[in-house]
Amino acid sequence: MRPAYNRRMDISMRPGLGRLLALALLVAVVAPRAAGQVVDTPRVPDTLVQRIAACTTCHGVHGEGTPGSKYFPRLAGKPAGYLARQIQNFQDGLRKYAPMEYTVRNLGPAYMQEIADYFSAQQVPYARSPVPPVSAATLQRGEQLARDGDPQRKVPACASCHGTELTGVEPAIPGLVGLPYDYISSQLGAWRTHTRAMRAPDCMAVIAGRLQESDITAVAAWLASRDLPAHVRPQAAGTVEPPLPCGVLETAGAGA
Amino acid sequence: MKRILIAAALLLLLVVAGLAMWMRTGTESPSVAALGAVSGEALRDPALVARGGYLARLGSCAGCHSVRGGPAFAGGWAVPTPFGSVPAPNLTPDPETGLGHWSFADFWRALHHGRGPDGKLLYPAFPYTSYTRVTPQDALAMYAYLRSLPAVRQETPAAKLEFPYNLRSTLLAWRALYFRPGAFRPDAKQSEEWNRGAYLVEGLGHCNECHARRNAWGATPRGTVLAGGEIPRQDWYAPDLSTRQNGGLQGWTAQDVVDLLKNGQSARGAAFGPMADVVRDSTQYMADADLHAVATYLATLPPRAPRPAPHSAFDVKRIAAAGEKVYRKHCADCHGADGRGVAGVYPPLDGNSAVTEPTGINAVRTVLLGGFPPVTAGNPRPYSMPPYAQQLDDGDVALVVSYIRQAWTNKASIVRPEQVGKYRHTPID
């Protein structure tokens, strides 16, 4: 960036010599101050939000997600530990989604945590995203999987880890409320195709592997169409006992 | 048919090369032989190991010899080339899958001669074309450092190369044409600082492996030193590094060069794509003296010939005018209507080689991907650029990139929508 007074001089240099001399005097007086000012360059707020435009353009300024996109998930209010781990997983290539992998590839742990803390602390209203038309039976199956699981297929209920109201559990289990249908179904699909993974043992990969294709549609549709519970903050830490061994939660699993 | 022709041509070269090799078989220099006798205890000298660690940083060895999220130096990343992929091997001291059994002579043979312990010819995806200039003393320090790493048991996958490149003997021909084992020869007319910079840039830094055009055989022909080139298969353009007239970094001061390498960003531009990785893994850790040495050396790269003004069958003025509308809506808030950016925050686009490089790849991909400059000690919370892949279609990306390549003092060719679509799904690893 060239100091602004240079450009002013470019324009004012045209008049005759006499006026030029006066002008030179004026510039000599004004320049030291003008040089320190940023006159016509945009003033950049020294804030985290300004810094993370790469995140907010898809996930929203408050991490509210972009329900209209039918894809970009909400980050607001999710446990900070979970969000920081996802950034790390994208960086390490455990989660595969090229735009995210590229965006986070050169972030360091402290900055990742700061970004995660920011989105975790945001409290903004949830918005509905569109759900494809599915039958009542499908929604019923989705609700069954979410609340009770499917003991025959050894699929634990979503609620057994993600909290009674599926709002997540501090510090590392994300809520499943207010997420777009496409996002949820593609994540479960990604666990089956190993394009989303976690530190071993990867409990979600096990669960996704036990689901049928139709189950993924059912649970994604039910979760995406469900009315929001009264309280949407994650449950307190230690209030769930995950049924499967899970590397990221450092749990041995209660058996399922 | 084409392959048979290629094979025949290579066979011919092979014969020539065989003769050439036969005629210049030499013996190792006495200093290398002496270093090979260094005892195990001397190799564990913490000062030597630390110096080797620093040099391995400068060489960015872990950048290729690790997979993302995997243990450092344990190998596994498949280096993509137009001839196939060549996985970087495990450099940790594991006896079976790593370098556990390698003597210093083996290490030197790889680094300096591009040969494995059994004499096997190494693929030049491993840049021994540059590393051959590393001194035996520096090689020994790096060897000591690698020996000090925890052994990681991890098999290196086999190379996946197309015929005839999968035949290592084809490398005889390639080497006869493009590789001579050699040492760095200081230029007595230049300062010690300049010579240090030249040694780092041409040797361990292996800058020319990206910042030069590669020919059809994947080699960087003579006379293309740091003049810029497309990085095959990675789809980025590594710009010309001359800071003088018509150079890619024209107008950059030594401090600008130091800032970019140390902090990931200077008043003139930011590191992105593969260069951001280089800053992250390597240059941010360079000692100030070495950074200044590199800048001193780069400052003496020659001025370049003026690039001919681009001519186009399209109505360039109309395209740029349409692109300016996109620019004012999406870009001007940060980069300024005058394209000067905000020093240290948002890079200028006027006179920025990332914008004006010959192909337009960098600007197109940066508009699509956005992203953060690397996090460094000097820039721990960088400002980022939003990705526009979702908001702008190929036509709009082409318009805005054409505009910034034509605006202000920039005089680069326009890009077409077809050139944008191609990069929407380029792998990022």
Q: How far apart are CA B206 and CA B190, in angstroms?
A: 21
Distances (CA, A) of A1 to A116, A248, B260, B324: 33, 46, 16, 21
Scanning B338-367 for CB atoms below 8 A from A yields 338, 340-343, 345-346, 348
- The reply to whether A94 touches chain B by the CB within 8 Å rule is yes
Q: How far apart are CA B347 and CA B104, in angstroms?
A: 45
Please check whether residues A164 and A220 belong to one and the same domain.
Answer: yes
The closest of B407, B317, B327, B338 to B367, measured between CA atoms, is B327
Residue A233 falls inside a structural domain: no
Residue A236 falls inside a structural domain: no
pLDDT digits (tens, 9 = 90+) for B269-284: 999 999 999 999 999 9
The closest of B54, B48, B50, B58 to B200, measured between CA atoms, is B58
The DSSP string of B215-229 is -TTS---TT-TTSBE
Scanning B382-401 for CB atoms below 8 A from A yields 382-387, 389-391
| Residue B373: CB atoms within 10 Å | 24
Distances (CA, A) of B194 to A97, B62, B420: 43, 27, 40
Does residue B218 contact residue B82 with C-beta atoms inside 8 Å?
yes
- Residue B4 confidence (pLDDT): 62
Q: Identify which of B264, B340, B369 has the shortest CB distance to residue A102.
A: B369
Q: Which of B28-32, B213-217, B403-407 has the lowest mean pLDDT?
A: B28-32
Residue A241 falls inside a structural domain: no
- The reply to whether A97 touches chain B by the CB within 8 Å rule is no
Across the interface, whether the CB atoms of A58 and B390 are under 8 A apart is answered: yes
Residue in the block written with tokens 């970094």: B249
Residue of A48, A102, A194, A196 for testing the chain B interface, max B β-carbons within 10 Å: A102
Percent of chain A with pLDDT over 90: 70
Please check whether residues A26 and A52 belong to one and the same domain.
Answer: no
Tokens of A22: 């006066």
A112, closest residue in chain B (CA to CA): B381
Please check whether residues A24 and A67 belong to one and the same domain.
Answer: no
Bridge partners for B212 per DSSP: B228
Residue A240 falls inside a structural domain: no
- CATH of residue A132: 1.10.760.10
Q: DSSP class of residue B169? A: T
Distances (CA, A) of A203 to A143, A156, A213: 20, 10, 18
Tokens of A18: 């006499």
Tokens of A35: 């040089």
Residue A243 falls inside a structural domain: no
Please check whether residues A9 and A114 belong to one and the same domain.
Answer: no
Across the interface, whether the CB atoms of B375 and A58 are under 8 A apart is answered: no
Residue A249 falls inside a structural domain: no
Does residue B366 contact residue B355 with C-beta atoms inside 8 Å?
no
| ipTM exceeding the 0.95 mark | no
Please check whether residues A16 and A101 belong to one and the same domain.
Answer: no
pLDDT digits (tens, 9 = 90+) for B51-65: 999 999 999 999 999
pLDDT digits (tens, 9 = 90+) for B124-155: 999 999 999 999 999 999 999 999 999 999 99
Across the interface, whether the CB atoms of A99 and B389 are under 8 A apart is answered: yes
**Phi/psi at B50 (5° precision):** -65, -40
Distances (CA, A) of B288 to B100, B161, B276: 34, 41, 19
- Residue B38 confidence (pLDDT): 83
Write out the residue range of the structural domain in which residue A122 sits: 48-225
Percent of chain B with pLDDT over 70: 93
Please check whether residues A28 and A66 belong to one and the same domain.
Answer: no
pLDDT digits (tens, 9 = 90+) for B173-232: 999 999 999 999 999 999 999 999 999 999 999 999 999 999 999 998 877 799 999 998
Please check whether residues A68 and A174 belong to one and the same domain.
Answer: yes
Band (B311; pLDDT cuts 50, 70, 90)? confident
Q: Which of A140-149, B25-34, B137-146, B390-399 has the lowest mean pLDDT?
A: B25-34
- The reply to whether B372 touches chain A by the CB within 8 Å rule is yes
- Residue B6 confidence (pLDDT): 61
Which residue stretches of B67-189 are H helix? 104-113, 128-131, 136-148, 170-178
**Mean pLDDT for all residues in chain A:** 85
Band (A5; pLDDT cuts 50, 70, 90)? very low
Please check whether residues A168 and A64 belong to one and the same domain.
Answer: yes
- Residue B27 confidence (pLDDT): 58
- Residue A104 confidence (pLDDT): 97
From the number of C-beta atoms within 10 Å of its C-beta (0-12, 13-18, 19+), residue B50 rates as middle
- Residue A34 confidence (pLDDT): 41
Distances (CA, A) of B150 to A74, A125, B157: 41, 50, 20
- The reply to whether A28 touches chain B by the CB within 8 Å rule is no
**Phi/psi at B71 (5° precision):** -65, 140
Considering only CB atoms, which chain A residues are within 8 Å of B270?
Answer: none
Listed by start position, the domains of chain B span 2-21+31-178, 192-298, 316-421
Shortest alpha-carbon distance between residue B65 and chain A (Å): 15
The DSSP string of B64-99 is HSS-TTSPTT----EEEETTEEEEPPP-S--TTTSS
- The reply to whether B328 touches chain A by the CB within 8 Å rule is no
Q: How far apart are CA B300 and CA B243, in angstroms?
A: 8
Distances (CA, A) of B4 to A134, B8, B292: 58, 6, 50
> Is the predicted pLDDT of residue B303 greater than 70, yes or no?
yes
Distances (CA, A) of A199 to A233, B30, B147, B208, B330: 25, 50, 28, 38, 39
Q: Do the two domains B192-298 and B316-421 of this chain adopt the same fold?
A: yes
CA B354 to chain centre: 15
Between B10 and A18, the more confident residue is B10
Q: How many domains does chain A have?
A: 2
CA A96 to chain centre: 14
- The reply to whether B336 touches chain A by the CB within 8 Å rule is yes
Q: How far apart are CA A53 and CA A49, in angstroms?
A: 7
Considering only CB atoms, which chain B residues are within 8 Å of A93?
Answer: 67-69, 429
The Cβ-side half-sphere exposure at A159, using a 13 Å CA radius, reads 12
The closest of A89, A113, A95, A102 to A54, measured between CA atoms, is A102
Helix axes B104-113, B136-148, angle to 10 degrees: 120
Band (A14; pLDDT cuts 50, 70, 90)? very low
Q: How many CB pairs under 8 A join A and B?
A: 104
Please check whether residues A98 and A13 belong to one and the same domain.
Answer: no
A107, closest residue in chain B (CA to CA): B375
Considering only CB atoms, which chain B residues are within 8 Å of A41?
Answer: 336, 340-342
CATH superfamily of B316-421: Cytochrome c-like domain (1.10.760.10)
Residue A158 falls inside a structural domain: yes
- The reply to whether B267 touches chain A by the CB within 8 Å rule is yes
Does residue B241 contact residue B301 with C-beta atoms inside 8 Å?
yes
Residue in the block written with tokens 């940790």: B92
Considering only CB atoms, which chain A residues are within 8 Å of B341?
Answer: 1, 41
Strand ranges inside A77-163, DSSP E? none
Residue A189 falls inside a structural domain: yes
Find the mean pLDDT for residues A243-255.
Answer: 81
Please check whether residues A52 and A22 belong to one and the same domain.
Answer: no
- The reply to whether B317 touches chain A by the CB within 8 Å rule is no
Please check whether residues A97 and A194 belong to one and the same domain.
Answer: yes
Q: How far apart are CA A11 and CA A5, in angstroms?
A: 10
Q: Identify which of B340, B342, B372 has the shortest CB distance to residue A107.
A: B372
> Is the predicted pLDDT of residue A236 greater than 70, yes or no?
yes
Write the CATH number of the domain with boundaries B192-298: 1.10.760
- Print burial letters for A97-120: b (CB count within 10 Å at least 16), e (below 16): ebbbbbbbbbbbeebbbbbbebbb
> Is the predicted pLDDT of residue A3 greater than 60, yes or no?
no
Please check whether residues A147 and A89 belong to one and the same domain.
Answer: yes
